[in-house]
Structure 1
Amino acid sequence: MIDKYVIEEIDRGIKETWENEIVNDYYNGYLLKEDSLKCSLYFHLRTKLKKLLKENNLRIYPEYYFSDLRYFADIAIVQIDTTIDKSYLRDKIVDVIAVMELKYDGGNSIGTENAIKNDILKIKNYIQTGQLLCQYYFAVIYETECISLNWLDKRSTNNWAQGYVTELNAGSLDGDMWFEVNPYNGMNG
């Protein structure tokens, strides 16, 4: 079991990365689609959290597969036990600390919104099955004019998302691109 302080430091690192490095990468033309967002988050989180990751046997993996749930997480932060005598690294993973689902789109079609909403349902399923009790980060860059940057409604944020989910949002409001963090997890708000 990982110490709460470590979880809070990871949470702080993810939120700061979104508000600083991801914003800079976006405005400097380093982010084109979801995969470049994933690469950027991976790079910046490994850099920012390097010491914490090493001290706590934590690893960051893209496209991490949860076989029991039959889902791929875009990014997962996991803890490994290096003393386990197994051939496969996957068998040394003892805890999941954080899961990130990412979306990056410039379209405003119903299909785009449905893909985003499907990731919300994926996170909801992770939480409601109780098989994966960790922190969840839903990161969306939506290059379309928005009324609001939030994707979760009050019913979600007051129920299943409370204590677990943080939205990392970006979208256009009145013609300007905005980035924000909406934490429902009670940490580093």
Structure 2
Amino acid sequence: MNLDQLIKEIWVTNIKKDYEEKYLYKEDSLKNALYYHLRSKMDLSEEIRIYPEFRLSCGRRVDIAIVKVDFEKARSHHLSESIHSIEALIEIKYIKAGLSDEAFYKDLNKLADYYISYPGAKLYAAFIHEEHYSKEDLRWLDYTSLSEEVKSNISEISGYLDSENSEFIVKVD
């Protein structure tokens, strides 16, 4: 299973289950759960590593980065100087009902910046909003002014409550 398939599979199975079993409290617990499942299920070859709160060379800090490390270089240099490539960047938001959704759009703009700075990286918007939506309504990228090129390079993985029965729904695109 490739990295993209794995991230999406974890979202629809493990994150959905974690939410339903009350393991997810706020954004940090969602970040920790995603990190845990990635680390548990990834084939962590000698060079792949997962880092939360990763400082990027563009000056921003991403919630989760999946990178390739040059371990030979890391023997004589700091690990931060030994990143070979950035494979995936994940921005995470978990917003409770009744709170502003503006933070989702800020994260999408960050991902658009990452698209320019790290063109080879897979980009993910991992959003949970504890509001009620119909199953067809919710796709955060549709409500932005980002170019179609940028939108097509961001995978949206989301969760929300179904307006008909309050069931927790997860979606991936």
TM-score of the superposed pair, with normalisation by structure 1: 0.82
Identity of aligned residues (%): 34
* Aligned twin of 1:172: 161
**Matching of residue 94 in structure 1 with residue 84 in structure 2:** yes
The answer (yes or no) to whether the contact 1:96–1:132 under 8 Å persists in 2 is no
* Aligned twin of 1:139: 126
* Aligned twin of 1:40: 33
User: Which of 151, 165, 174 is the equivalent residue of 2:140?
Assistant: 151
**Matching of residue 15 in structure 1 with residue 8 in structure 2:** yes
- How far 1:173 sits from its partner (Å)? 2.2
- How far 1:157 sits from its partner (Å)? 7.3
- How far 1:130 sits from its partner (Å)? 3.8
Counterpart AA for 1:181: V
Counterpart AA for 1:97: E
User: What are the equivalent positions in structure 2 for 1:102-113 lying under 5 Å apart?
Assistant: 102-109=92-99, 112-113=100-101
Say if 1:115 and 1:157 are closer, same or farther in 2 by CA, change over 3 A.
Answer: same
Write the deviation string for residues 84-111 of structure 1: whole angstroms up to 9, x where unpaired: 14331111111000000000011333xx
The answer (yes or no) to whether the contact 1:149–1:170 under 8 Å persists in 2 is no
- How far 1:149 sits from its partner (Å)? 2.3
User: Which of 68, 72, 82 is the equivalent residue of 1:83?
Assistant: 72
Please list every run of 5 or more consecutive structure 1 residues that lacks an aligned counterpart in the other structure.
1-7, 183-189
**Matching of residue 160 in structure 1 with residue 150 in structure 2:** yes
Write the deviation string for residues 55-83 of structure 1: whole angstroms up to 9, x where unpaired: 5x10000000113x221100000000111
User: Which of 19, 44, 48 is the equivalent residue of 1:53?
Assistant: 44
Aligned CA RMSD, in angstroms, stands at 1.8
User: Which of 99, 107, 110 is the equivalent residue of 1:122?
Assistant: 110
Instruction: Say which SS state the counterpart of residue 121 (structure 1) adopts.
Output: helix
Q: What number of residue pairs does the alignment pair up?
A: 167
* Aligned twin of 1:185: none
TM-score of the superposed pair, with normalisation by structure 2: 0.89
Distance between the aligned counterparts of 1:58 and 1:167, measured in 2? 23
